[in-house]
A and B are shown apart, each in its own frame.
Chain A
Amino acid sequence: MTFMLLIKNGTIIDPSQSLAQTLESKQDLLIRDGRVEAIGASLEAKGAEIFDASGLIVAPGFIDLHVHLREPGFEYKETIASGARAAVAGGFTSVCCMPNTAPVNDNSSVTSFIIEQARAAKLANVFPIGAITAGSKGEQLAEIGEMKTAGIVAVSDDGKPVLDSGLMRRAMEYASDFDLPVVDHCEDCCGAEGWAMHEGEHSALMGLKGLPGAAEDLHVARDIMLAELTGARIHIAHISTARSIEMVRQAKDRGLAVTCEVTPHHFTLSDKDVYESGYDTNFKMAPPLRSPSDVEAILESLRDGTIDAIATDHAPHHANEKMLEFDRAPNGIIGLETAVSLTLDRLVHRGVITLARMVELLAVNPAKIFKLDRGTLKVGSVADVTIFDPEKRIKVDAPKFQSKSRNMPFDGWELKGAPVAAIVCGRVVWRAVKN
């Protein structure tokens, strides 16, 4: 039986087809059987369910290239179902999950398990990322080809940087055979094992072991050189320093297939906030919150296009694990349910980027980077849609989150702009409660 959804009177912003309209123009979007059927003014469709999007922005479904869903192995932190619930409640219709589970997603049976769990949850699309090396131990390549057949969209040893340059070179070459990008967590820690924050005047004052920005820069420089050698597609995860961004900019100018993402916390906070938090472990993550001048460079490169995507690095940890001493607490914060609001409040409303650029960063570019059949509302494409209200004022309320975890520094923040609905394959999977 045919199912139709008609989204009425929204402002459609889709940079993939140059639909970056003025906020005054109203358009309708008709979805039939999970695909975009038509875009136009005053569409009619008999029997269609109607979604009134008056005053709202309608965009291609947002894609988060970097989340940790913790299943299998750490279900007390998050499950694929709870993570998918958090995703849609945050306006994301797709998430790409990192392989650092237990067991590690380094073989096709784990990949298939993740896909099955996501299918059962019937919420967001979940695209698994496979490990680069077996067990993410940095010793030998994982079965990348078999995982590709099972459904992975990229490879990464996120959280465990591949320090062996020879192995990384082979990984890039081998992943290219399967048309997969290599996503790298760049951290060659320069003797700062056990670091707790960014190295700078604040770490000096707080007496915490610092990780210098150079630790990331060294690793990014190496990856860019290897990308040039191999011709592989590489994607720098959660870029955080001015110097690394500068190197990505130069690599792009030379025509290399290098892309990068930034997290909302890295464009919002700096090491000064760690200091002012008074050792709050919800300000601890990898890479660490960098200096205010790094944040300036991040904002500039979000504007000029050097940064390709916004990704959350959603990293759930149980409250008990964050109740430790700062230097002993695990790295990471959750981000799925605050990313869209932070992007609107900190970037759009402060004039750093336009709404069209925001949709590029959250939907169009992520789809391109991992070659996903998403990120557009062109007629005939899969109808994943994010609807959001740039003017809606919210107060972040962590206890009400869909994620199983609460570890993040934004609780209680008042932000302007929020997601309103997530539509996956033509089905409204989440809708904000009216207030």
Chain B
Amino acid sequence: MPLKRKDLLGIADLSPEEINLILDTAETFRDINQRQIKKVPTLRGKTVINLFFEASTRTRTSFEIAAKRLSADAINISPSTSSVTKGETLVDTAMNLQAMAPDAIVIRHSSSGAPHQIARIVNAAVVNAGDGAHEHPTQALLDALTVRQNKGRIAGLKVAIIGDILHSRVARSNAHLLSKLGAHVVLAGPRTLLPFGLEKLIAPSEGSVTFADNINEAIAEADVVMMLRIQLERQAGGFFPSLREYSIHYGLNRRRLELAKPDVIVLHPGPINRGIEIDSDVADGPFSLILDQVASGVAVRMAVLYLLAGGG
């Protein structure tokens, strides 16, 4: 079964079947990544452009490796400034890329919705690699793959997502995806960084999305604890008084993790701020799957590129 859509812009508009198709496909690619020769000819002759308006090493590298292991030609473009300061509009940029006839364009942009605007104009498959505070679908997919691999299922799990939910595309994509697959997602963090109302528009499903009153309540009996990176500039923005206070009241440490289920797993989209949102002994401890997430990332991105750009 192919993925019957041109683009992957977000998890919000995917069906559970589509999500499972991507995850199942990723499983097969994960095996390829364990081989001696990690390259398959699936996307030979195809061109993938990684268009990163916002700095990112890991996501861009992950997409680049995914494309190359599928034998596609991968080109990285990282405009150092925004399109506005160059005097070129987003639409101009899209039309220029279109003229080069790529098969897929992977876009990271600091403005929510930028990949959607580009997708309307170009014929290539557009993959959202993170847009503003909106969505980061491949991150949620790799998180789900990691959880599924470790827990054997997603339905019925309690997943706590903790931190700056307001500005987090990772939290949004995960809330959509995990609830669609039947998990119970509990969001928590400083009240200044919680986008209340979000839960009202999550598609109805077997799962659920709720806000907890405090982070201990969110972590209690959780199967999965996902910590979000706190951006330093949020302190200057007046969302919380100091990183010190943040780490004490909203950080994940070993004592707090004891509230969770004994077989809890800890995730973080990275890069981590050690000692701020997560203590080193938790990040490096036995419950942490942070590096497994990175490995899952390549497999998921191979699956997405294959399913969108691989057809005939």
Name A residues whose Cβ lies closer than 8 Å to a Cβ of B: 191, 196, 200-208, 275, 278-279, 320, 323-328
Contact = CB atoms under 8 A, between A and B. Distances in A.
Contacts of A275: 201
9 contacts: A207-B112, A208-B112, A208-B113, A208-B134, A278-B120, A279-B114, A323-B91, A325-B83, A325-B113
Given A324-B90, A326-B117, A207 B133 contact: yes
A202 B201 contact: yes
A201 B195 CA distance: 8
A325 B132 CA distance: 10
Contact of A204 (B84, B91, B198, B238): B198
Interface in B120-176: 120, 131-135, 167, 169, 172
A203 B197 CA distance: 9
A196 B135 CA distance: 17
Given A324-B84, A328-B111, A207 B200 contact: no
Contacts, number: 74
Given A207-B135, A207-B172, A279-B116, A327 B201 contact: no
Given A202-B201, A206-B113, A208-B133, A325 B196 contact: no
B273 to A, nearest CB: 21
Interface residues of B, number: 31
B89 A204 contact: no
B300 to A, nearest CB: 21
B109 interface: yes
Given A204-B196, A207-B132, A208-B134, 13 more contacts: A196-B112, A204-B201, A207-B134, A207-B167, A207-B172, A278-B116, A279-B112, A323-B89, A323-B92, A325-B84, A325-B114, A326-B111, A326-B113
Interface of B: 12, 82-84, 89-92, 109, 111-114, 116-117, 120, 131-135, 167, 169, 172, 195-198, 200-201, 238
For A205, A207, A275, A323, which residue has the most chain B Cβ atoms within 10 angstroms? Answer: A207
A278 B113 contact: yes
Contacts of A279: 112-114, 116-117
Contacts of B131: 207
B146 to A, nearest CB: 23
A202 B202 CA distance: 10
Contacts of B196: 204
Contact of B112 (A320, A323, A324, A327): A327
Summarize A's interface: helix, strand, loop or mixed. loop
Contact of A206 (B82, B114, B134, B167): B134
Contact of B84 (A201, A278, A328): A328
A318 to B, nearest CB: 11
Contact of A325 (B109, B120, B169, B198): B109
Contacts of A323: 89-92
A349 B210 CA distance: 42
Contact of B169 (A202, A204, A207, A327): A207
A208 B172 CA distance: 12
A277 B146 CA distance: 34
A200 B198 CA distance: 8
A325 B109 CA distance: 9
Contact of A208 (B89, B132, B200): B132
B43 to A, nearest CB: 28
Contacts of A326: 111-114, 117
B200 A201 contact: yes
Q: Rank and list the top 6 A-B pairs by shortest CB-CB distance, nearest first.
A: A279-B113, A207-B133, A207-B134, A325-B111, A201-B197, A204-B195
B112 A191 contact: no
Nearest to B53: A325
B89 A324 contact: yes
A160 to B, nearest CB: 21
Contacts of A207: 112, 131-135, 167, 169, 172
Contacts of B84: 324-325, 328
A120 to B, nearest CB: 34
A329 to B, nearest CB: 9
